[in-house]
Amino acid sequence: MTALRVDLDPDDVGRGFTALVLALAEAVRELLERQAVRRIETGDLTPEQVERLGRTLLAVRQQLTAVREQLEIETNRKDTT
């Protein structure tokens, strides 16, 4: 029986972990955006809250994009905006 040997490169492991964290952050961002749209559609928010929410979600999206670009991590999915 041959033993399974795994060669781990610390740079590859760190990069993979970073990509995983960014993917999770993207999933949370998308979930928050969907929830925000539902709240807007149901009229739960004032116009000021809608404006603040929109600015905040846009800032989060821009930050995630900047981090991905800085770390040169590509996404496998097509951005819908």
- The per-residue pLDDT for range 38-59, each reduced to its tens digit, is 999 999 999 999 999 999 999 9
Amino acid letter, 42: T
Domain contains 77: no
More confident residue, 76 or 64: 64
Domain contains 64: yes
Where residue 76 falls among pLDDT bands split at 50, 70, 90? low
Model-level pTM greater than 0.75?
A: no
**Alpha-carbon gap, residue 19 to 15, rounded angstroms:** 6
Q: Please state the rounded mean pLDDT for residues 2-25.
A: 75
- Please give the tally of structural domains in the chain: 1
Domain contains 28: yes
Domain contains 10: no
Q: Which domain holds residue 31?
A: 22-71
**What pLDDT shows up at residue 81?**
45
Q: 57 with 32: CB under 8 angstroms? A: yes
Q: Please state the rounded mean pLDDT for residues 4-28.
A: 79
